[in-house]
Amino acid sequence: MNANDFFQSLWKSYIEITPQADSVQKLFQGAGEEIINDHVAFRTFANSPIALEKLEPILTQLGYKAYGAFRFENKHLVARCYKHSDTNLPKIFLSELLTHELSEAAQQILDGIIAQIPADAVQSPAVFWGGPLWSKPTLAEYQTLSQESEYAAWLSTIGLKANHFTVSINHLKGFDDIASVNQLLLDKGYTLNTVGGLVKGTPEVFLEQSSTMADKIEFTFADGETQTIPSCFYEFAIRHKQADGTLFDSFIEGNADKIFDSTNQN
């Protein structure tokens, strides 16, 4: 599989539970825009058969190289980013949950989930849209996780999938800044993530980002209880030139920390 086929498969899987992404893309295409994605993000469990270190070789086979590492203390996460020599291909942001930093109650639930993942789960790029490789949690387990880590709760139900694609504002012809993109989305009735403000970041840190709040899906838990839960969201990013004239191509921990909240239940 080549990288273009990889992203086509990812997109198909992504819009199945994120219909807003398809409608947003069509909104921009209707305005004569060609959508180039800045990056795509994934979530996984550390110390598991689908840990970051196990998934990274698949990205390498697709032509990606790691170039940055990040730590999110409050959310108990680490992450790496990857880029391809073809600059029209999205960067990849891969984060993992440090389950050992959570409470014993949360660890017990997550240990049970991770124990179900096949040891040889990572066989091909298809693992990136495989969804949960474990049985559904109960509603009580989900609620226990969400009280401590929205990331853990989300991952327990949605599994390994692209949790967001990101429109590159730099490649849009009719939008010069992130504010005009946000205003279009608000005018069309989309709900945006306001944690830390509509815009995360500033030109001074060379990266500005915003995002919708995740779509919602009906999910039936292992005990038969049904509840509306967050699925995935769509992001928008504009990169600014650094002192040497090159566009900033990495990520900002403070921005990403707030973007993670796009899948919060409330």
Angle (CA) 245 259 65, round 5°? 55
* DSSP letter (8 states) at residue 149: -
Q: Kindly tell me the burial class for residue 101, based on how many C-beta atoms sit within 10 Å of its own C-beta (0-12, 13-18, 19 or more).
A: middle
| CB neighbours of residue 67 within 10 Å | 12
β-pairing verdict for 91-97 and 77-84: antiparallel
* Tokens standing for residue 199: 């815009």
Question: pLDDT band at 109, cuts 50/70/90?
Answer: very high
CB-CB contact of 84 with 67 (8 Å): no
- Mean pLDDT over each residue of the chain, to the nearest integer: 96
pLDDT at position 218? 97
Gap between the Cα atoms of 65 and 75, Å rounded: 25
Q: What is the pLDDT of residue 265?
A: 86
Q: What are the tens digits of pLDDT across the range 223-253?
A: 999 999 999 999 999 999 999 999 999 999 9
Total count of domains within the chain: 1
C-beta neighbour count of 244 within 10 angstroms: 5
Residue 104 has pLDDT above 90, yes or no: yes
Query: Distance between CA 197 and CA 107 in Å, rounded?
Result: 32
Q: Tell me which residue range forms the domain holding 24.
A: 3-263
The tens digit of pLDDT for each residue in 115-165 reads 999 999 999 999 999 999 999 999 999 999 999 999 999 999 999 999 999
Looking up residue 69, the CATH number of its domain turns out to be 3.10.180.50
User: In the numeric block, which tokens belong to residue 9?
Assistant: 């498969």
Handedness of CA 73, 141, 42, 48 (dihedral sign): positive
Q: How far is residue 69's CA from residue 96's CA, in Å, rounded to a whole number?
A: 12
- Asked if the model's pLDDT at residue 266 lies above 80, the reply is no
Question: With contact defined as beta carbons under 8 Å apart, do 178 and 170 qualify?
Answer: no
d(CA 113, CA 130): 15
For residues 209 and 49, what is the distance between their CA atoms, to the nearest angstrom?
32
One-letter amino acid at 251 equals F
CB distance 170 to 239 below 8 Å: yes
Classify residue 161 by its DSSP letter.
S
Q: What is the pLDDT of residues 38-81, one digit of tens each?
A: 999 999 999 999 999 999 999 999 999 999 999 999 999 999 99
CA 262 to chain centre: 9
Q: Name the residue with tokens 């949360």.
A: 106
What is the residue whose two structure tokens read 């990331």? 151
